[in-house]
């Protein structure tokens, strides 16, 4: 292959961003300059969502207003509830999320207005409504009645409530909130780049987020948290873990939840999520997954020098919280809508059509023969 080709855009800097950066000097992912783990310690997810969208942390008045708007926009139209009710029960919830956001675009009165002010309002509506759409599907496919959103609950509490009909203890809600903070943004990853590429043709925010959801679904990106759980289920019990991972490495298998395009010596989000995984396991009195986690991690680092990424601890954490495995990546979606939206607005503010070149290796020029001569 031609040496000039950077397959996978490896190492290519394609634009500037103010949204987030992995800062080597503090070895951490930062959102608008704040370390993600510090945000987990001092903030709720709503504050971080505000930060990502508005470039600064809110004061209490700004936060109240933001939360009020989010809570007031959670409800879906009757039409969207009906569409979700009629979706095949076996649909992957990522496809449900993708379709739901697309329908929101059909219903939104500002779809064609891509001004910053309008995009901000639409981003908030997509952010508020997508959890409702997903929770509705969660209930419907189990043959249960839809639970409508409740304005008195926080973003995280409300998601639990709409899925399970109750809010768990505050430590579990905090662990969920932390996972949302850690998933909210990560610069030019595949789904964000997809959103920016769609935006670069001056298409609308609903279309860009619909495309980003499709991109996040893949197992090499957001889908990895689900794959981690499938792997843990295959391992079954801690006493099988060592043999399983050694065998996987011998067979040159890709071990899900490990490796990263940017972090080569450890994902800075992992220690925080690992701590909350431990807290949830303790509350649930189930240490099995933690034991499997530690054994597989130790072998991956010792034998391959490949460290876990954030999907490794989130997978079993969501499982212990009671979510179905195919809902793990949709939870990533409800958080990442903030990061995608910020990037979509950044792309609009300084747009250049994204249109790379390809090195052609197909047929040389050929003459067309008419059908009866071929």
Ligand X SMILES: CC(C)(COP(=O)(O)OP(=O)(O)OC[C@H]1O[C@@H](n2cnc3c(N)ncnc32)[C@H](O)[C@@H]1OP(=O)(O)O)[C@@H](O)C(=O)NCCC(=O)NCCS
Site residues for ligand X per CB under 6 A: 220, 224, 254-261, 304, 306, 309, 311
Q: Least distance (Å) from ligand X to the CB of residue 262?
A: 8
Neighbour-count burial for 169-195, b at 16+ CB within 10 Å, e otherwise: eeebbbbbbbbbbbbbbbbbbbbbbbb
Q: Kindly tell me which of 119 and 329 has the beta carbon lying closer to ligand X.
A: 329
Q: How many CB atoms lie within 10 A of CB 166?
A: 9
Q: Least distance (Å) from ligand X to the CB of residue 305?
A: 9
Q: Least distance (Å) from ligand X to the CB of residue 192?
A: 12
Half-sphere CA count of 215, side-chain side, radius 13 A: 20
- Listed residue (298, 224, 280, 211) closest to 254, CA to CA: 224
CA max distance for the chain: 76
CB contact at 8 A, 126 and 132: no
Q: How many CB atoms lie within 10 A of CB 367?
A: 4
Among candidate residues 186, 206, 260, 348, the one labeled active-site is: 260
Q: In what order do the strands lie in the sheet with 20-23?
A: 20-23, 28-31, 34-35
The reply to whether 38 belongs to the active site is no
Half-sphere CA count of 274, side-chain side, radius 13 A: 16
- Listed residue (276, 59, 35) closest to 171, CA to CA: 276
The reply to whether 267 belongs to the active site is no
Q: Least distance (Å) from ligand X to the CB of residue 257?
A: 5
Q: How far apart are CA 272 and CA 192, in angstroms?
A: 23
Identify the helix (H) or strand (E) that includes residue 85: helix 78-85
Nearest to ligand X by Cβ — which residue?
Answer: 259
Q: How far apart are CA 111 and CA 250, in angstroms?
A: 52
Among candidate residues 267, 311, 319, 343, the one labeled active-site is: 311
The reply to whether 260 belongs to the active site is yes
Among candidate residues 15, 38, 92, 221, the one labeled active-site is: 221
CB contact at 8 A, 238 and 292: yes
Q: How many CB atoms lie within 10 A of CB 275?
A: 14
Q: How far apart are CA 337 and CA 123, in angstroms?
A: 8
CB contact at 8 A, 340 and 254: no
Q: Kindly tell me which of 7 and 166 has the beta carbon lying closer to ligand X.
A: 7
Q: Least distance (Å) from ligand X to the CB of residue 220?
A: 5
Q: How far apart are CA 90 and CA 248, in angstroms?
A: 30
Q: Least distance (Å) from ligand X to the CB of residue 144?
A: 32
Q: How far apart are CA 146 and CA 140, in angstroms?
A: 7
Q: Least distance (Å) from ligand X to the CB of residue 311?
A: 5
- Looking at the annotation, which residues are catalytic? 221, 260, 311
């Amino acid at each position: 292959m031609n040496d000039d080709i950077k397959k996978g855009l490896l190492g290519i800097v394609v634009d500037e961003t103010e949204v987030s950066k992995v800062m080597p000097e503090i070895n951490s992912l930062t959102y608008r300059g704040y370390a993600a783990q510090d945000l987990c310690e001092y903030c709720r997810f709503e504050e971080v969502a505000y930060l990502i969208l508005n470039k600064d942390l809110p004061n209490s008045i700004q936060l109240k207003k933001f939360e009020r708007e989010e809570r007031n926009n959670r409800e879906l139209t009757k039409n969207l509830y009906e569409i979700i009710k009629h979706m095949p029960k076996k649909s992957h919830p990522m496809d449900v999320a993708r379709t739901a956001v697309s329908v929101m675009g059909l219903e939104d009165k500002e779809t064609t207005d891509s001004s910053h002010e309008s995009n901000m309002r639409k981003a908030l509506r997509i952010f508020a409504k997508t959890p409702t759409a997903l929770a509705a599907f969660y209930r419907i496919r189990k043959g249960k009645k839809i639970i409508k959103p409740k304005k008195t609950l926080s973003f995280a509490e409300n998601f639990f409530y709409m899925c399970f009909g109750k809010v768990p203890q505050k430590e579990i809600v905090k662990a969920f909130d932390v996972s949302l903070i850690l998933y909210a943004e990560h610069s030019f990853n595949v789904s964000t780049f997809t959103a920016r590429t769609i935006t670069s043709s001056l298409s609308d925010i609903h279309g860009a987020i619909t495309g980003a959801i499709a991109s996040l679904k893949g197992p090499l990106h957001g889908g990895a948290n689900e794959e981690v759980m499938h792997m843990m289920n295959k391992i079954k019990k801690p006493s099988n873990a060592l043999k399983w991972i050694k065998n996987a490495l011998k067979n040159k298998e890709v071990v899900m939840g490990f490796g990263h395009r940017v972090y080569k010596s450890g994902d800075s989000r992992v220690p925080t999520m690992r701590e909350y995984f431990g807290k949830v396991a303790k509350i649930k009195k189930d240490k099995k997954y933690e034991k499997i986690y530690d054994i597989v991690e130790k072998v991956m680092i010792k034998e391959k020098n490949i460290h876990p990424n954030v999907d490794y601890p989130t997978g079993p954490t969501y499982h212990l919280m009671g979510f179905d495995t195919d809902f793990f990546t949709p939870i990533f979606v409800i958080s990442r809508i903030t990061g995608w939206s910020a990037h979509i607005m950044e792309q609009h503010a300084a747009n250049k059509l994204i249109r790379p070149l390809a090195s052609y290796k197909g047929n040389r020029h050929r003459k067309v023969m008419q059908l009866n001569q071929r």
